[in-house]
Amino acid sequence: MSTESEKQTESNASTAAEEEALLEDASAFRAGEAEADRASAAEAPTLEDLQSQLSAARAEAESLRDQALRVRAEMENLRRRHAVELEKAHKYALDSFVRELLQVRDSLDLGHDAALAEGADIAKIREGMELTSKLMGDVMERFGVVPVDPIEQPFDPEFHQAMTMQPRSDLPPNTVVAVMQKGYTLNGRLVRPALVMVSQEAS
């Protein structure tokens, strides 16, 4: 009988110890939850923090907007300057050519005055005209204007315009035998074809 009583006492003590351990675990768990709640509350932003962040975001957005407006204004100014420069380039593209051409005009005026003078020297007038013609040719060549003068060259329909044919036994057919009017190219591009007489086979 005493043995069963002892066993019952031991069982009750074991159960009490288990209950006490469970109570300690539950208390520790609640303490952990409370600590987590306090940490979460400490990490949560306050209204002042949110307002400060909103103000910073608005300031950054305003700064970016100002930068975008400045870039847009600069691009617009650049476009306007480019348009003005392009207009000037088109308007005054012949400025250098005109400057060079003025000396040819001056030479022509001098030759004209000399021809009208009493007792004009024809030989000097002829010499002046030759010099003026050479001056004009030099100016044109400096600006890429080259004459097309294809005498005794094969006929080329891209640069020559045949005005008439002439039977010739001393030249191959389709050879330029006379140039009625010189043609001209500008930097290799045809401006005016040469008007020519072309040989054909003699009958």
The one-digit pLDDT tens for each residue of the chain (203 residues) are: 445 665 566 665 666 667 777 777 667 767 776 676 665 555 667 888 888 888 899 999 999 999 999 999 999 999 999 999 999 888 888 888 899 999 999 999 999 998 988 888 899 999 999 999 999 999 999 999 999 999 999 999 999 999 999 999 899 999 999 999 999 999 999 999 999 999 998 87
* Gap between the Cα atoms of 131 and 27, Å rounded: 120
Query: Residues of 110-147 as b/e, b for ≥16 C-beta within 10 angstroms?
Result: ebeeeeeeeeeeeeeeeebeeebeebbeebbeeeebbe
Cα 170 from Cα 153, distance rounded (Å) = 13
Of 142, 129, 140, 143, the closest CA to residue 182 belongs to 140
Q: 164 - beta bridge partners?
A: 197
Q: CA–CA separation, 146 vs 132, rounded Å?
A: 17
Contact 178, 197 (CB under 8 A): yes
For 46, which DSSP code?
A: P
